[in-house]
Structure 1
Amino acid sequence: QLKAARAKKRKHTFDITNISDYENLDDHIWSDKDIDERASNYFAVLLTAGKNINIWKPSGRPSIYFGGSKRTQRCKKAELKKAAQNNRSITAYLAPALASNIASASTLIGMESIDVESTEVESIEVESVETESMEGESIEVESLEVESLEVDEKTKMRLAIEELDGMLKNDKNQMDKGIRVRLQASLQYLWVRYQGQNRINSSTTIASSLEWGDYKARCIGAWAQNWINWQKLPRDNRGKFTKVLGLLDDERISIKELESVILEYNDKDLTKLVEKNISPEKK
C-alpha cells in the first residue's frame, strides 16, 4: 500500500529543472481570468459607494455594550425590584437601637421634667434664702450640688467595676477570649478612671500596656462606656462590636479643636493681660 501511494504522488509531482518552469507553475495555479477582467468593475463599485453619504451613516444600535437592549434592561430592573421586596434595607445592618436604651430614654425624659419643676422650686427657695442670709451660705449650696453629681458618676464606675470583677472571677474558661480581653481592658480603664485620671490618659496607658495603638485606646473608652450604660458590650447585626464613640463625644477631637481656637499664653503674656484689666487700686 505504501508503494502504491508513493507511486501516485510521483505521478502528480512536476519535474522542475529550469526557472521558467516556476513561472509556468504560478500561471497554472494562481491565474484567474475572471478576477482580472472584473477588477476594474470592483474598483468602480467601491468608488461610487464611497461617494454615497447614506452608506457611512451610523446605525441605530450603539457600538458599545450597555447591558443589552432597553427591553432586557427593563426586565432586569423588574426582577431586581421583585427580589428587593422581601429583603431588609441597609439600615438593618447598622447598630440596632436597644430596647433598654429606649426605655431608659423615656424614663430620663420623665425624670428631667420632674427635675425641672423641682429646680424651679429650689431656685425660688434659694433666692429667698440669699436675700435673708449672707453670700457665703449661697456658695455652700452650689458646692453641695456639684459634689452630688461627682459622687453619682463615681458610684456608677464603682458598680461597673464590681460587676466586671465578679463576672471575670466567676468565669471558668467559658467566655470567648476576645470578649474576655475587651472586658479586662475596660475593667482596668474604669479602675484608672476611678483613681482620678482623665479619659485620654487612662485609655492610652491601658492601650500602651497591651501594646495597642491610638485607635484601640479609643475603643477601650467606648467599650467601658457601653458597659456602664447597658452592662454589656453591644454588637451590630453583623456580629461585630461597636467600637468608637461618635465624633461629638470623642475627647481627642474636642481637645484638638479647642487647642486650635484657644491661644497659647506664656507667663509674661498672662501677667500683661491681667495688669491691663486690673485697676491700680486693687494691685
Structure 2
Amino acid sequence: MIKQLENQLKSVRDATKREQPLIHCITNPISIHGCANMILAVGARPMMAEHPMEVEGITKTAGALMLNLGNITDVRIESMKCSARTAAKEGIPVLLDLVGVSCSKIRMELAMELIEKGKIQILKGNISELLAIAGQPFHGTGIDAGAEDAMTGDNEEERKEIFRRVSKKTGSVLLATGAKDLLVDQNRCLILENGVPELSGITGSGCMVGALSAAFLAQRDPFVAALLGTSVMGIAGEIAAKRSTGPGSFQMELLDAVAGLTQEELEARIRIREIGI
C-alpha cells in the first residue's frame, strides 16, 4: 500500500502544478495570508472570497472548496452554507476545517449542518475537535487539543474505530492533526509522523495544512490529498526548523521549503505507518 501511495502522491503533485486549479477558500483573517501562499507554493491558485452575493458563482468555477470555521462571523456562516450547497450541487470537492468546534456551540452547530447537508470529502481538525464531532469525550481548550486526547500507542486502535464509524456515516475522510496525525477512511488508516514542535509556535499552521490538502483535493482523491497536504507541511517544517533561528525566520523558511520540496525529498523523508482495518 505504501509504495502505491507514493506513486499517487507524485501523480497528484504533478497534476496540481500542471493544471493550476482554483481553490476557493472561505477562511479566517488570522491565517488567510499563509493559506493563500501555501496554495500558490504547490502550484494551485487561491481565491479568498467570502461575500454572500458572490460565493456561489466563484465556487462554481473552483477545483475545490475549503471551509475554515476559525474566527467565525455571521457573513462567513451565510457564505459557507451557500458555497457548500453549490459545491454539493456541482460535484466540487470540499474540505471542512473544524477549528474551534470543541469550544464553541455556534461552530459545532454550523459544522453539523454543513456535514449533514453538504458532501464533505475531508473533515479536518485536531484530535479534540474530531472527537467532539464524533460525539466522544474530549478535553480541548480554545482551539487547542487537550493533552489527554493526544494519540498514543495505547489508543490508536480505539481512535481508528471511532473515526472509521464517522467516515462510514458521512462518507468523509477524517484527518486528525497533532504530534502524530491520524488519517482514516472506511477502509484505510494511517499514522503520519512528520513534523516539528516549531509548527505549533506560529499562527495558522493547522489552517495551512487544510489549505494544502484543499489544493491537492482538486484532483478528486481525498485520502491522497489529506496525506499529501499533511506530509508536505510536516516535512517542510523539519527542513525549515534546521534553517531558521526563530519563529520569524521559520515562517519564511517554511514557505520556501514547501515550494522547493522535490518528489525525491518527499519520498525519502515521509514517515507513514499503516494500521489494519
Query: Comparing both structures, which one devotes a greater share of its residues to strand?
Result: 2
User: What band does the TM-score fall into relative to the shorter chain?
Assistant: under 0.3
Query: Comparing both structures, which one devotes a greater share of its residues to helix?
Result: 1
Larger Rg: 1
Point out which structure has higher relative CO (alpha carbons under 8 A, 6+ apart). 2
TM-score between the two structures when normalised by the length of structure 1: 0.25
